Amino acid sequence: MTRTILTILWKDLKIELRTKEAFSASFVFCIIVLVIFNFTLDLTTEEALRLGPGFLWVAFAFAGVLSLNRSFALEKEEGCAQALMLAPVDRGAIYVGKLLANVIFMLVTEIIILPLFVVFFNLDLGGKIPPLLLIFFLGTVGFASVGTIFSAIAANTRMREVMLPILLLPITIPVLIAAVETTAYAMGVRDEASFWFRLLIAYDVVFTVASFLAFEYVVEE
Amino acid sequence: MGVLYKHLFWAYAIIWTAIFLYLLNIDLKQRAIMKEIAALKKKLLG
Amino acid sequence: MERKGNPASFILPALTFLSMLFAVYMVFVYAPVERTMGIVQKIFYFHVPSAWIAFLAFFCVFLFSIVYLMRREKKWDDLASSSAEVGVLFCSLVLITGPIWAKPVWGVWWTWDSRLTLTLVLWLLYVGYMMLRYYVADPEKKATLSAVVGIIGFIDVPLVYLSIRWWRTQHPSPVMAGGSDSGLDPDMARAFFTCLAAFTILFVYLLMKRVKLEKLREELDGLQERVEETHPK
């Protein structure tokens, strides 16, 4: 099981290291979103701190959709999906491997975007970085847990680029709200976020388990 | 008062029209398919 | 195979029609006019049961999807997809009649109230479900994939509701006076439950009719195949 997971993860990482397609797409997209927000809303530093968590997660969510879309589309195009399904491995292991790869791709973008966000809006986040990273991780796991299985579902449709965001974004509303509220707490704009933190963890657990169990139905041939 | 009646009227009108149109739509489709089925059966028997 | 003479085929529509007539009587003749909201409060008798039907339908999608994944019989998929369609219809009706009711009572068309917002999110979820069905060509793939979305989507409902509720308490909006379910007059309650029952019968009727359409389609496909075999062109 662990070996299959690592093999899948390593395969995806290797492809990404070679092509850098997912990273470059979502990274550039994130910057564009931040620039557009700056122009459309014309923010002061104070406002940026209040609205920043929302911006960040809007950017992360849409960039996440971009990189998730590629996760299974790539397999379909190269005919790898077929080979993967024929391999005598546990479907759950494929899901976990894919999930880990997607979480890593999204997190790398998020970690690079954070300092840019700080610089763009002249913020001072000093010692708030470690809790922020934890929240980024939890939010990304929640988003990618449903995202990974929905990416596999969308890869089977005629309109997969459109289908993924349409299916994924409404379902991730709880995790997005929770991520924004806890991020605001970590940045010091909210004084209380224990409910949201628990919701974030609950969402991660519920949807990782549910998607893990449902994945075998999605990939059967 | 008149405004209230207007709102009430529209709410009920929309609900009834929508349900009626939905039923009508299913019914028309069913009829069309049944016609086709009858034609095919005739073809198979004859 | 004779369909016209089947007694079951007119009992359900007749029952639906009669119960709806009775519901209309209860709403407009029996139930008293509400004091603060006036006559427009009567939207409530059809607005809330519509919401109930939408939730019931989405719960049915969840159940039928699970049964489909276990049994792999087409009829469960027909039931699931038909419930989703009826659910989206009633969900849309809730979203349309909600603002029509809210405007004269609260002075605004829309408020991000937790129930209204949940309905909107549900609408988005199940419109997505129906779009997915539309865009998958292979019927078995379509059934399995949409069953997975139907299950995962429904698991999300309590989390969405919790998060919207909590979000509401942190982002307060003007307090809405006259909550609809605070101390309902017994006559009103009777009218309301009559409507609820009538709508549930209507739901069963719509669902059965919609499922029958799917069955007819299947029969037609089967016949077409046989015709092609026996009468090659």
pLDDT digit string, tens, across residues A8-31:
888 888 888 888 888 888 899 999
Q: What is the pLDDT of residue C1?
A: 40
Taking an 8 Å cut-off on Cβ atoms, the answer to whether A153 and C167 are in contact is no
Q: Give residue C71's pLDDT.
A: 93
Q: Is the pLDDT of residue A77 over 70?
A: yes
Structure tokens at C27: 């709403």
Q: What residues make up the domain containing C139?
A: 44-172+205-220
* Predicted local distance difference test score (pLDDT) of residue B3: 81
Q: Is residue C103 part of a domain?
A: yes
- Where does residue C34 fall: left (phi above 0), alpha (psi -120 to 50 degrees), or beta otherwise? beta
* Total domains, chain C: 1
Residue window 162-181, chain C: list those with CB within 8 Å of chain A. Answer: 162-164, 166-167, 170
Q: Which domain holds residue A133?
A: 2-219
Assess if residue C25 is contained within a domain: no
pLDDT at C6: 63
Is residue C28 in some structural domain? no
- 3-state SS, residue A188: coil
| Rounded Cα gap, residues C145 and A72, in angstroms | 15
Chain A contacts of C166, Cβ < 8 Å? 195-196, 199
Q: Does C158 touch chain A (CB under 8 A)?
A: no
CA distance C99 to A151: 35
Residue B38 touches partner C, C-beta closer than 8 Å? no
C contacts of A159 (beta carbons < 8 Å): 135
The percentage of chain C sitting over the pLDDT mark of 90, rounded to a whole number, equals 56
Q: What's the domain count of chain A?
A: 1
Q: What is the pLDDT of residue A212?
A: 95
Domain presence at residue C179: no
Contact at CB, A214 and C148, closer than 8 angstroms: yes
Backbone angles phi, psi at C36, to 5 degrees: -80, -40
Q: Calculate what percentage of chain C has a pLDDT beyond 70.
A: 90
Look at residue B43 in the predicted model and tell me its pLDDT: 84
* In the predicted structure, residue C63 carries a pLDDT above the cut 60: yes
Angstrom distance (rounded) from CA C157 to CA C124: 12
pLDDT tens for A145-195 read 999 999 999 988 888 889 999 999 999 999 999 999 999 999 888 888 889
Q: How confident is the model at residue C2, as a pLDDT?
A: 42
Which are the contacts of A102, defined by CB distance < 8 A and separation ≥ 6?
A67, A68, A71, A144, A147, A148, A151
Interface check B32 vs C, CB under 8 A: no
Instruction: Check residue C178 and give its pLDDT.
Output: 46
Q: What is the pLDDT of residues C86-129, one digit of tens each?
A: 999 999 999 999 999 888 888 888 888 888 889 999 999 999 99
C-alpha dihedral sign at A73, A77, A81, A84: negative
Nearest of C216, C135, C136 to residue C224 by alpha carbon: C216
A117 interfacial to chain C (CB closer than 8 Å) = no
Both tokens assigned to C138: 């292979």
Across the interface, which of C135, C147, C160 has its CB nearest the CB of A158? C135
| Whole-number average pLDDT of chain C | 87
Q: For residue range C155-192, list pLDDT tens digits in order.
A: 999 999 999 888 877 765 544 444 444 567 888 889 99
